[in-house]
Chain A
Amino acid sequence: MRLRISALLLLFLGFGLKIKAQNNYGSVHGSFQFDGQYYNEDTLIGALRPDSKIGANGFLNVIYTNKKFEAGLRYELFMPPLLGFDPRYEGQGIPYRYVKYNGEHFELTAGNFYEQFGSGMILRTYQEWNLGFDNSIDGIRIKAKFPGLVLTGLVGKQRSFWGKGEGVVRGVDAELWLNDAFKSLANMNTRIMLGGNFVSRYQADLDPLYKLPANVAAWSGRIGIFHGNFNFNAEGAYKINDPNSTNNMIYKTGNGLVLEAGYSRRGLGITLQAKRVDNMDFRSDRTASGFNLPINYIPAMTPQHAYTLPAYYPYSTQQNGEMGVQANVIYKFKKKSFLGGKYGTTIDMSYAVSQAIYKEKPNDSTEIGEAGTLGYKSDFFKIGDEKFFHDFSVKISKKINKKWKIYLTYVNIFYNMEVNQGHKEPNVYAQSAVVDLWWKFKPYNALHFDFEGLFVKDNEDKGDWAFGMIEYKYKSFFAAIIDQYNYGNRDPLHRIHYFSASTGYTWNSTRLAVTYGKQNSGILCVGGVCREVPATNGFSFTLSSSF
């Protein structure tokens, strides 16, 4: 009963607040999403049915602005959380609320806010609803804005489910655009950005076993150079001793370096990235782990696949030690050229690889990673022996004629199972192929065919998979049937078809989607941050809107 009332309240508020009056009373806007699922038990695929039978996640975000003043809140509901979300989210309330004054030179925020310094290697707070991730800071933030210069200072505690983390986070950031700050450089063709930040966490030392630093600081410096079609960005970071749950209580300092270079012009884009991080897991509670209370974010060096099977083995960023490179080239063969054809052909290639950093004993009497010691020594330029991941992919996009479009994808993957999923299972070598066809057979009517295969060497893990989807679209309406078939599973009993059917409609900015069927278990990652998705069997419903 409570669930129905809360859900109805959310629906009512979501649709009722369609007031966008731009008048002297300011304006209201926001967004809304509700995800509900009804569970059937299915022992064959390991799908559980919780006692509640239903899971429900929802939020309503409302923002009011009036000239320089802004206030907002987000109401959330998890009653109970969908399977796969942390059960500590169960409940409802307003975990996010703020007021903001946005003046010409100063911006002041009190309450919850999200912020990022540079690439996020020292501080990044954000929310990702589908991951169940939210590390907002509840405190005060001041920004001072001048021509070419932005100074930011903040202090607060991070959200931890319906409470706050123990530690207090304090930080300052300065970002200077030379061309805007100095008149003599205003006309220079090359734009240069310099930035620096300093963040520290205070958490009392109550540990009876170790002497712990109550104040842990980290800082970074960054540079960005933009000249014509070229750009270059670099950021280097450092963290003092931070014994914590994720590094097994070692006293080694941390460091990180991210480099990025790019070139883009009409028809061609090239990006090269390189990264090294060493002991850079940084949280506002030294005992936290998993999704809980990270202060920083290590940029992911992995392509984001939109298709199901190529995304089956996603990489999980290793904040305490990884080095990697990623290269991406996108090129469009011109229209009416030999390879371009009548409409042009686009090819998108990428390669990403991540490896362990090199580690050696800090001294003869201490093992690598031993708690209560310096942990290890690591030569910055040496590469460790263990490979974590690689992904090589090629995607070809082509419009064949006015009715047909085709997308072909090939992916080659190496996936270290223990590093990415924590299971001591054999590594996975896999290849995936996708044929994605769109057929616009009548105006406003289209059929979409998506056929995918995942071929796992030696049938490790769950072996080979096939995926097929046929989708019909008519203007804002869609209906699809899907089958994901684990034909290569070593256990014949688990060579299962995961059938499902889905339909939905979009009215302006409101979207409704309904799905019924079986869903395979897997890993959902956004930007290298991942959560497990359990297998489910049943009916799910999503309603989202913005106003």
Chain B
Amino acid sequence: MKNIRLLTILLTSLFLWYSCDKVEPPYVENGNGGELNSDTVRKVLVEDFTGHTCVNCPQAHKIIEDLQQHYGKQLVAVAIHAGFFAKPKSAPYDYDFRTTEGTALYNLFQVQATPIGMVNRVKQSDGGYLVNKGALASEVSKQLDSLPQKPDLYIHLTPSFNSSDSTLSLAAEITFLEALPSAKYNLCIMVTESDIVKAQKNNDPTIGSTPDIFDYHHKHVLRGMMTPTLGEEILDGTPGNMQVISKSYSNFKFGADWVPKNCRVVAFVYYADGPKKYQIIQAQEVEVATP
């Protein structure tokens, strides 16, 4: 009986060690409100696999919007419509948001369900690259708050849109700012469009009407890529100090219903091999220049 009492006391003491954290309101953190708008800062790419008949996807879109408000230009987002819930169905869900490149990425990263995302395509502890919507914020924070603000490389983009034939040309200049290891470096160029007003399934009444939001403003939708899906190799080896690599692309044809002034060019450089394969080093985003 004495032993039991002693044990109980020991266990109770252990009990007290296990603190519980009751959080008092306000529950929302104050961000930098997008103050860091200088272009030579670390920028992270968030890719959001989504679909217009995916009822939980608007919650993921909201999280990304909140993160963009928090981090400003440091967060570059792309919505990749692919998989079952992106398939066109009967009206008003008959629009096809999908792209060949988006479907290829969906298959490459073994997406099973949406919404699901990637943050700089960093490999996760489970061996995959995918991040639940609930983990997007903390993963973005790991990339932006834990690493130096100065990026390892800088991407300068100069787009030029020809309205007569709806084609886009682009000059990209990559400057290596920090010492990086010997590896293969690939450059990807995506074109996105925001404010595409089409229907979206939704089950969260705090975001909009359920089960459908008929005039949903789809944001940063992947429309296509100016490079192959896995990009173009820009360097195989050790980058030199302040080494500059220039690339140019031309005659990328816009779709008939795309609105150029709502379109952006998203570029990123990533490791194409080695232990950090697929991991994005820096992202960049500019509006499509329209005359």
Contact = CB atoms under 8 A, between A and B. Distances in A.
B126 A162 contact: yes
Nearest to A51: B107
B274 interface: no
B27 A200 contact: no
Contacts of A164: 125
Chief secondary structure at chain A's binding surface: loop
Given A88-B127, A214-B21, A424-B203, A208 B133 contact: no
Contact of B28 (A146, A216, A286, A372): A372
A216 B20 contact: yes
Interface in B198-234: 201, 203-206, 211
Given A153-B14, A161-B127, A372-B27, A213 B204 contact: no
A285 B135 CA distance: 9
B14 A211 contact: no
Given A86-B112, A211-B26, 11 more contacts: A198-B18, A208-B67, A208-B138, A209-B31, A209-B67, A210-B29, A244-B134, A248-B59, A287-B131, A289-B134, A422-B56
A77 to B, nearest CB: 15
Contacts of B204: 248, 369
Contact of A170 (B18, B31, B62, B211): B18
A143 B122 CA distance: 40
A217 to B, nearest CB: 4
B11 A151 contact: yes
Given A208-B140, A367-B206, A287 B134 contact: yes
A245 interface: yes
A87 interface: yes
B14 A88 contact: no
Nearest to A369: B206
A528 B11 CA distance: 33
B142 A172 contact: no
Interface of A: 86-88, 90-91, 144, 146, 149, 151, 153, 160-164, 166, 170, 172, 174, 198, 200, 206-217, 240-241, 243-246, 248-249, 251, 285-290, 367-373, 418, 422, 424
A217 B126 contact: no
A245 B66 contact: no
Contact of A211 (B28, B59, B113): B28
Interface string B96-113: 000000000000001011
B256 interface: no
Contacts of A367: 205-206
A162 B127 contact: yes
A88 B125 CA distance: 10
Contacts of B140: 208
B4 A146 contact: yes
Contacts, number: 141
Interface residues of B, number: 52
Given A163-B125, A208-B31, A245 B18 contact: no
Contact of B23 (A153, A162, A213, A370): A213
Nearest to B146: A206
A91 B128 CA distance: 12
Contacts of B22: 213, 240-241
Given A206-B142, A215-B21, A424 B127 contact: no
A86 B135 CA distance: 19
B7 interface: yes
B240 to A, nearest CB: 35
B201 A424 contact: yes
A288 B130 CA distance: 12
A173 to B, nearest CB: 10
A163 B70 CA distance: 31
Given A288-B132, A289-B132, A206 B127 contact: no
B112 A213 contact: no
12 contacts: A153-B11, A163-B127, A206-B138, A208-B31, A208-B141, A210-B137, A211-B28, A217-B20, A240-B22, A286-B134, A287-B131, A372-B28
Contacts of A215: 18-21
Contact of A166 (B70, B113, B125): B125
A246 B70 CA distance: 23
B38 interface: no
A174 B5 CA distance: 13
Interface string B175-211: 0000000000000000000000000010111100001
Interface string B130-166: 0111110110111001000000000000000000000
Contacts of A149: 4
Given A200-B18, A369-B206, A424 B211 contact: yes
Contacts of A249: 134
A251 B211 CA distance: 25
B130 to A, nearest CB: 9
Contact of A151 (B7, B63, B132): B7
Q: Which 8 pairs from chain A and chain B are nearest by CB?
A: A245-B134, A287-B135, A217-B20, A213-B21, A287-B134, A206-B138, A367-B206, A370-B206
Contacts of A91: 127
A161 B123 CA distance: 14
A239 B15 CA distance: 15
B193 to A, nearest CB: 26
A198 B11 CA distance: 11
Contact of A243 (B8, B27, B133): B27
B206 A245 contact: no
Nearest to B12: A172
B72 to A, nearest CB: 12
B90 interface: no
Contacts of B112: 86-87
Interface in B44-98: 55-56, 59, 62-63, 66-67, 70-71
